[in-house]
A and B are shown apart, each in its own frame.
Chain A
Amino acid sequence: MELTEKTLYYWLSVCGMGAGRQNKLLDIYSVEEIYDRVQRFDSELIRFLDEKTVRKMQRFSDASYIEKKLDSLYDNGISFITIKDEKYPEKLAQREVCPPSVLFYKGNIDLLNSSCVAVVGTRTCSRYGKECAERIASELAEYSITVVSGMATGIDAYSHQAALDAGGNTIAVLGSGINKAGPVQNLGLFSRIVEKGLVVSEYDADYVGTKYSFPERNRIISGLSDAVIVVEAAKKSGALITADRAVEQNREVFAVPGNITSGKSEGTNNLIKNGARLLTGVKDVLTFFNFRQTEIIKNNTVVALDIYEEKIYSLLQNAESDVNELSEKSGFTLQETVEILFSLEMKNLIKREHNNTYTIARALN
């Protein structure tokens, strides 16, 4: 088999070297040269790397072996692009990102070059964090902005979910191989993202994530994005690594403020203290980037409300409220209130939450 440049990039990426060393190597040699030197067990290359690594690379360099691995990759429905590929996004290819030479993916690859905003946060989120994540992600989706996150539990998962629910696009960046996507409870979400969005990983399909690989991929989350929104993060949270990377990569960092009494918002509040932009709505991101409102297709249909619905809706605009309270304040009977709430919910204007509580889901035009 003829080893194409793309195949050689694949070979290089699965030889056990990190993106940093790969990039250093590629600065000096082309990928064909590297392959050639490995075959010859070239002393210059050994001086640059080390003997052990080069032996390992040699072991993997058998053409039929690479072919077999590629076949199983394609059998699993996984494709990849290399840094040379025209679809490889420019923003990711920047030096500061330490770009992966190969990006494995499943789903719609064109999303890589759409306008992306990362929404990240703690895995053990509070109800407030969840609400914020969902609100931000679905609003981003409405403005046709792709939501990038890490498919972890908590904020990540809620962001992906909300973006998909709102009919928007989303990219999940994994810290493991695509065949080893996890955690288990997010596998349903995983298949939804594959179907409607994009899942990418810099790791070979069967690579089981390690405690180093997950923080590593955070640089890709921020690298793919024009801005990073940290929704909720405790003092030491993985999401803060993403924020750090974003700063290194000259991405704008937004943070959602939280209660000063809540430990889960300590990290985000600190970010704001240290210069991150305070975010209270997606508009903050849009104005920063001068997204022109007129260009944005927002599927706003005019919703007609009768006087009963209007009354309940306006009560909810003041504050979220539960059924009992709404019935009391509006003067409607419990049954009437329930019926009106149902109509409003069907019009997507309000949302039901825990404990029969309703909140505004969408503003009236």
Chain B
Amino acid sequence: MLAIVKSCGLHGIDGFEVQVEVDINQGLPGMEMVGLADTAIKESRERVRSAVRNSGLMFSPKKITVNLAPADIKKVGSYYDLPIAVGILAATAQVDYKQIGDTVFIGELSLDGKLRGIKGLLPLIIFAKNKGYKRIVIPYDNKKEAEYISGIDTYALKDLEEVVRFLTPESGVQPMVKTEMELGGDSAKYRQDFKYVKGQAFAKRAMEIAAAGGHNILLIGPPGGGKTMLAKCLPSILPDLTVDEALETTKIHSVAGLLNYDEGLVRLRPFRTPHHTASRLALTGGGPSSRPGEVSLAHNGVLFLDELLEYPRSTLEILRQPLEDHSITVARVSRTVSYPANFMLVASMNPCPCGFFGSKTHECTCTPAQIAKYHAKLSGPLLDRIDLHIEIDNVTYEELSDVSSESESSDAIKRRVNAARKIQQERYSNEGFSSNAAIDQKMLAKYCTLDKKSELALKMAFEKLGLSARAHSRILKVARTIADLDGSENIGFSHLSEAIGYRSLDRSYWK
């Protein structure tokens, strides 16, 4: 007898439909699996057999053929244990085949019949919903992940026995209750807080602007100056995720298997800090299963590259495309996958090999030639894509020990950032992007206009300070963000002059 069970597979962060066809016929006892299945799936025959038997059910002693259709797409992962088991049970009439109907089954089985959690459930459930399926059965472990997707009846079940009960008419197994998404959260979730950063008001302000507009930022300073500290505080002031952003980010984390089962959702903007020994593939994604890389895991969040110049040049050049297109395409012989990669780049570097060029407290021992060589490592095209670069000097002991000056807390900064981001989201609601950093050349004329006085000031600044041409659009975008933080509709002189102050590397004193 033949049974057909619906399931889904993953391609990148999207799902595709898989039909699990189980046919039981006369012949030598055994189980044959066809349809381009990888090893994990082929091994499922042993898991399914034990799981069925240990659940007190009968495993047919006949010839079982399983086909995963479509047969020309390679299937990976352990999603198909459950649909295969259900197919076998239906083909041997142990469950009611009619009940299966429009239900999607996804899940891995353990030998005792328990359902195990799987990676990448969120994209699958969204896919099933969009495909118009009415019901889906998922492992109980993945319950949290499915909680926010309404419009499809979701059954988070614990083991095979429960699945059988579910397929019995009028069994009374209820779909899980969906909840509203709750995003953001208070600062208690973050270990670092700007409250604890002494001094550095200028740098903190730059971080606030970067967070508000999603601008890429480069921190330059001597060792021990607090670059890393500042960067680590950044998540605590990042604007809250929107529902769409949260879902998209969760999808990626789900596919990568990085999702916490108890959380079920990425609620905070991700903060990824790959070490400088990270391989290129670790950054871009790839490997046999085209796993998403760090740039995608940082989607809608921050990619922090500490000691930027320690990364091999080839690794850094990879960042150019995702920084421009906000997505990355991982092409392999077997398949080509596109992952979103819209991240904010935060990088830090020393000003020179010894680290103290321009420092007030230490003397730099580097020759100008050494410094020039050091800076040449920073590729122009990458620098082009960084909106703000600021210098950070060591904090003096007086500042450190000053207990009287309580710094502003991250919560207070975050309120301003959220307000500014909201203005941007409303302004760009019809443009397909949501932050000032994403404004392209065409949009610049529309959204970043200057009054006469500022126009003149910008022209003058270009001539006097020897700013490079590439600085132009960067300054305008940052000025737009500063105006938004100010709640101002137009970019004013003060906004512009502040934006120009955040272009340290364009200054002649580096030369």
Residues of chain A having any CB pair with chain B under 8 Å:
123-127, 153-154, 157, 183, 185, 262, 322-324, 327, 334-336, 338-339, 341-343, 345-346, 348, 352-357
Interface of A is mostly: helix
State A104–B151 Cα separation when bound (angstroms). 85
Residues of B within 8 A of A123 (CB): 367-368
State A126–B202 Cα separation when bound (angstroms). 26
Q: Are B372 and A185 in contact (CB under 8 A)?
A: yes
Q: Are A338 and B364 in contact (CB under 8 A)?
A: no
Q: Are A339 and B494 in contact (CB under 8 A)?
A: yes
Q: Are B497 and A339 in contact (CB under 8 A)?
A: yes
Give 9 A-B pairs besides A342-B461, A354-B359, A356-B202 with Cβ atoms closer than 8 angstroms: A127-B358, A154-B368, A262-B363, A323-B501, A342-B501, A356-B390, A356-B501, A356-B504, A357-B360
Best-buried of A335, A353, A355 by chain B (most CB within 10 Å): A355
Any A CB within 8 A of the CB of B189: no
Residues of chain B having any CB pair with chain A under 8 Å:
199-202, 205, 221, 351, 357-360, 363-364, 367-369, 372, 390-393, 457, 460-461, 464-465, 493-494, 497-498, 500-501, 504, 507, 509
State A355–B361 Cα separation when bound (angstroms). 11
Residues of A within 8 A of B390 (CB): 356
Q: Which chain B residue has the least Cβ–Cβ distance from A357?
A: B360
Q: Are B509 and A124 in contact (CB under 8 A)?
A: no
Q: Which 7 A-B pairs have the closest CB atoms?
A: A354-B358, A342-B497, A355-B393, A339-B494, A323-B202, A124-B367, A339-B497
Q: Are B358 and A153 in contact (CB under 8 A)?
A: no
State A348–B13 Cα separation when bound (angstroms). 55
State A353–B364 Cα separation when bound (angstroms). 15
Contact A345-B357, Cβ < 8 Å, known A183-B369, A185-B372, A334-B202? no
Q: Which chain B residue has the least Cβ–Cβ distance from A154?
A: B368
Q: Are B364 and A345 in contact (CB under 8 A)?
A: no
Q: Are A354 and B357 in contact (CB under 8 A)?
A: yes
Q: Which chain B residue has the least Cβ–Cβ distance from A355?
A: B393
Give me 28 A-to-B residue pairs in the complex whose CB atoms sit less than 8 angstroms apart, sorted by A's number.
Answer: A125-B368, A126-B364, A127-B363, A127-B364, A153-B368, A154-B367, A154-B368, A185-B369, A185-B372, A323-B501, A324-B202, A334-B201, A334-B205, A335-B494, A338-B202, A338-B497, A338-B501, A341-B501, A342-B498, A342-B500, A346-B461, A346-B464, A348-B464, A354-B357, A355-B221, A355-B393, A356-B390, A356-B501
Q: Are B359 and A345 in contact (CB under 8 A)?
A: no
Q: Which chain A residue has the least Cβ–Cβ distance from B464?
A: A346
State A354–B364 Cα separation when bound (angstroms). 12
State A348–B461 Cα separation when bound (angstroms). 11
Residues of A within 8 A of B498 (CB): 335, 338-339, 342
Q: Are B201 and A356 in contact (CB under 8 A)?
A: no
Q: How far is the CB of B402 from chain A (nearest CB, A)?
A: 11
State A67–B64 Cα separation when bound (angstroms). 98
State A338–B200 Cα separation when bound (angstroms). 14
Q: Are A353 and B368 in contact (CB under 8 A)?
A: no
Residues of B within 8 A of A262 (CB): 363
Contact A327-B201, Cβ < 8 Å, known A126-B363, A183-B369? yes
Q: Are A352 and B509 in contact (CB under 8 A)?
A: yes
Q: How far is the CB of B372 from chain A (nearest CB, A)?
A: 5
Residues of A within 8 A of B221 (CB): 355
